[in-house]
Chains A and B, each alone.
Chain A
Amino acid sequence: MKLVRIFACVLLLVVVAGSLAAHWIAPANYATQFRDELPNAGPSKAHWLGTDDLGRDRYSRVLYGTRVSLLLAPAAALLSTFLAALIGALAGYLGGAWEKFAMASTDLFLSLPWLFLLLMVRAMLPLNVSPFTSVMVTFLLLGLLGWSASARVLCAGAKNIRNSDFVMLARASGVGKIRLMFLHVLPNLKPVLLAQFWISIPVFILSEANLGILGLGVAEPLPSWGSLLRELENFANFSGEYWKLVPLGLLVLTVTSFQLVLSREGEVAA
């Protein structure tokens, strides 16, 4: 299992490095349309994964799309973990009315069908929305709506720490609430925070992919894994063109790698 995890880490590093170096290693810009060639062309020396129906180099789009998904999903995860820490950890630490209020808010967010909400708000964007705005709004919404489950876990963790002997001793020796929070509670919650952060990344990658396939993800011409997967709608016409499945393969491999690394984080958190 350790070997598999190392392999997953290496794979993640390669994918992240490849996507970050897209500007240098991609043969073309993601939006450049090669009009002198047939659209939907097969792999060639110039276009390793062929071209899409607008004549854009598919390999370049995969690289840039990976960059968008792999940079913004962790950013959204960071936002949701921050919100979860703010609400959940504070609730667990302070207890009382604040805890009741925070847990009621968590219940509220857990009860809301967040894919419906996401669909709603994403659909309310103007038709001529810029690709940058669409990508920002999509991932910002993911971050803003996805904190509730993590908040519950963090609240339970903070509560345990609050009731632990060393915190009682610290309190008895006159350590202030803020100092206690930042010096004793938060550092001990680090493994849980890290695990929640890791858990959120694949969830957000998959959510963006689902939205993208439904046509409500990142706006064209900016690629993301979700928008690249829209090509799968014509899967019946693929007739052996398996290179079109590369974005899907990459997504599944990356999410699997995250899950494998995650199992280690989970063990650490436990």
Chain B
Amino acid sequence: MKVLLRHTARLLLILMIGGFLAATLVRYAPGFDVDEQQMDSRLSNESVQAMRTAKAGEHNILRFYTDFVRSAFHGEFGMSRTLNRPVKELVGERLPVTMKLIGTGLLVGWLLALIFAVSATMLRLAAYDVFTTFLSGLLLCIPSAVLALVFVFANAPGSIALGLMVFAHVFRYWRNLLEKSYAMPHIITARAKGLSSARILIFHILPVSGGQLLAVAGVSVSLALGAAIPVEALCGIPGIGQLAWQAALGRDLSLLLTLTFLVTVVTLLANTVSEVVGSSFRAQEA
């Protein structure tokens, strides 16, 4: 209970400071006051002035942020300036799409990484090791946006592109962890006694390295969230990533801030869950 409370307090504190940092970064960006709508020659001076006055509330960063947090506690996240719709409504529509994309991507990535890591550790074939290392290394060297484009032209689902990105980042850590576990004295003894590979993996390897495997998996959630931006923007998937991209192009501060908040919450939750589960694994091990 104490651990849970500590984690929650830490999460809230990081969230508050992080949100403030994000708002400050945006507020003091060089083009904060520039709005392409104001360049519309059809608008009268009065209309331009009215638009500037409407934006004036965002100038005082502390006031803007306090107002934002206060309304956020009441479930209100303001209006999107570019899409002219409540942010809450936009996020509500798009969050499930992103969650589905990230969920599928993570599942594909973790599954691929686990299959390749386990097979590479068990087979101990130099050629297979070179192949898997080359594959994950190559995927690490391709920008995620390019990978997304390839999937667009191949008419393949974007979640697979996301899965490949996750696989590339997770595979090497998992393989190294499993290799370390396989070299442990009790595993060598088990193998010498003729225990089946599956039994060794399930009953002797995973309980030992499960915590660390989960920690890496937790980190890959934030990676998938970042990769969702190019994947959704380029694959035309109407999720949070695409919304963030549209908001960025339209200089939509309230929308951007809400999205940053949301993604920070998901990242923190993922990290906290993997940390808690990892520590319980370690406690069991001890």
Contacts and interface: CB of A to CB of B under 8 A. Distances in A.
Most chain A beta carbons < 10 A, residue from B29, B143, B264, B267: B143
A124 B143 contact: no
B233 interface: yes
B126 to A, nearest CB: 11
Contacts of A216: 248-249
Interface stretch (B85-93, B133-141, B189-197): B133-141
A260 to B, nearest CB: 8
A248 B233 contact: no
A166 interface: no
A115 B146 CA distance: 16
Contacts of A21: none
A189 interface: no
B146 A113 contact: no
B260 A112 contact: yes
Contacts of B267: 111-113
B30 A126 contact: yes
Contact of B226 (A113, A248, A255): A113
B113 interface: no
Contacts of A46: none
Contacts of B144: 206, 210
Nearest to B15: A111
A127 B229 CA distance: 22
Most chain B beta carbons < 10 A, residue from A124, A229, A232: A124
A116 B260 contact: yes
13 contacts: A108-B21, A115-B229, A116-B22, A116-B259, A116-B263, A120-B256, A121-B29, A213-B146, A214-B145, A214-B233, A229-B143, A255-B141, A259-B137
A120 B18 contact: no
Interface residues of B, number: 47
A215 interface: yes
Contacts, number: 131
Contact of B149 (A206, A232, A259): A232
A215 B229 CA distance: 13
**How large, as a class, is the contact surface on chain A?**
35 or more
B226 A116 contact: yes
Contacts of A36: none
A256 B260 contact: no
A143 interface: no
B3 interface: no
Contacts of A206: 141, 143-144
Contact of B249 (A123, A129, A255): A123
Given A213-B230, A229-B146, A119 B245 contact: yes
A155 B263 CA distance: 27
B14 interface: yes
A3 interface: no
Main secondary structure, interface of B, reads helix
Contacts of B141: 202, 206, 251-252, 255-256, 259
Contacts of B18: 108, 111-112
Contacts of B274: none
B161 interface: no
Given A108-B14, A111-B271, A129-B30, A210 B143 contact: yes
Nearest to A144: B25
B241 to A, nearest CB: 9
Contacts of B26: 120-121, 124
A226 B232 CA distance: 18
Contacts of B251: 123-124
Nearest to B149: A232
Contacts of B225: 113
A257 to B, nearest CB: 9
A114 B143 contact: no
Nearest to A206: B143
Interface string A175-198: 000000000000000000000000
A21 B229 CA distance: 35
Contact of A121 (B25, B39, B249): B25
